[in-house]
Amino acid sequence: MAFTYKHVIFNVLVLLSIFNTCHTEELKFGFYKNTCPSAEAIVKQETSRIISVAPSLAAAFLRMHFHDCFVRGCDGSVLLDSTRNNKAEKDSFPNLSLRGFGSIARVKSTVEKQCPGVVSCADILALLARDAISDKHGAFWPVRLGRRDGRVSKSSEVLANLPAPNFNISQLKASFASKGFTTKDLVVLSGAHTIGVSHCSSFSNRLYNFTGKGDSDPALESNYTAFLMRRCKRMDVGSLVEMDPRSYKVFDTSYYKAVANKKGLFTSDSSLLADGETRAYVTRHAATPDRGLKSFFGDFAKSMVKMSEIGVLTGNRGEIRKTCSFVN
């Protein structure tokens, strides 16, 4: 896919040359060129080591980056531990299933040994998410650096900012629009569900008593519903199911084919068929998986650049944490 990446990177770099706000003006490529020139190489090397041992963490890192950026911006606040006087984001219900905190801490420790007090946890998480997906032959996007770490993390802010798996299309569009995303960004970033797994509790409402009459969600294909019921019995909250039933270990466009065939795991996935623009994107990429892959990778790169720069702290705002789970 090298030819794809060259075109993707060029197009995204053009986008970045015109995409600039007061929040992102101090982010730049080569930010650590003088202060920690090996930072990006260290993160990339450590990410490859992690993914070679635990490939499922690629999806976990991407999800954590998403959850971080949608609450208070991309400031690493999702990495902070709760304290006696404060319940942090990571202990809110939607974040209880996040994984990879220990791996992020190890990468941070490795970077700290080389360059103490220089590279933020927020930047490390942004690079980890990108490098993990790229390491699995998925999309690649350029990451400008210079984020600083936030000092505030509140569990109470999570539900109001994260789009829920049971959102309908109107709720999804409103949630993404509140973060500066377009409807196209919404359907593109939903494509991240092409890798990874989910606990039954995130979609079991679709299987049992959907409308209070002991029924299932008619938006699900009947055989797929039966399959999910075998995997997730009533009241099962711990079992895991692949988000993309065709290729949950591969970053590709098969997610869109699943959605088009009424096999989207979450209500939010099925909801993409309820809007003209999102439905068109789904059906186009479901019908032409080979040509669609190049298009999807390019779109995903552009949307990820936007997401990775939501509400960043730069300059003198925030801090550079010594340990990602605690403020200095």
Tell whether residue 131 is among the known ligand binding residues: no
Tell whether residue 149 is among the known ligand binding residues: no
- 242 has which bridge partners? 197
Q: Taking a C-beta distance cutoff of 8 angstroms, is the pair 206, 265 a contact?
A: no
Where helices occur in the chain by DSSP H, the ranges are: 2-18, 39-53, 57-70, 101-114, 121-135, 158-161, 169-177, 183-190, 222-231, 254-260, 267-270, 276-287, 289-307
Tell whether residue 218 is among the known ligand binding residues: no
Tell whether residue 285 is among the known ligand binding residues: no
* CA dist 292 → 58, 193, 260, 274, 282 (Å): 22, 16, 14, 21, 10
Q: Which residue has the tokens 């070679």?
A: 52
Tell whether residue 135 is among the known ligand binding residues: no
Tell whether residue 137 is among the known ligand binding residues: no
Tell whether residue 117 is among the known ligand binding residues: no
Catalytic residue, chosen from 67, 137, 199, 285, is 67
Tell whether residue 24 is among the known ligand binding residues: no
Q: Taking a C-beta distance cutoff of 8 angstroms, is the pair 66, 307 a contact?
A: yes
Tell whether residue 30 is among the known ligand binding residues: no
67 is catalytic: yes
* CA dist 135 → 69, 109, 195, 293, 317 (Å): 22, 21, 13, 17, 32
Tell whether residue 116 is among the known ligand binding residues: no
Residue length of the chain: 328
Binding residues for heme b: 193
Active site residues: 67
Binding residues: 68, 71, 73, 75, 77, 89, 163, 193-194, 244, 252
Binding residues for Ca(2+): 68, 71, 73, 75, 77, 89, 194, 244, 252
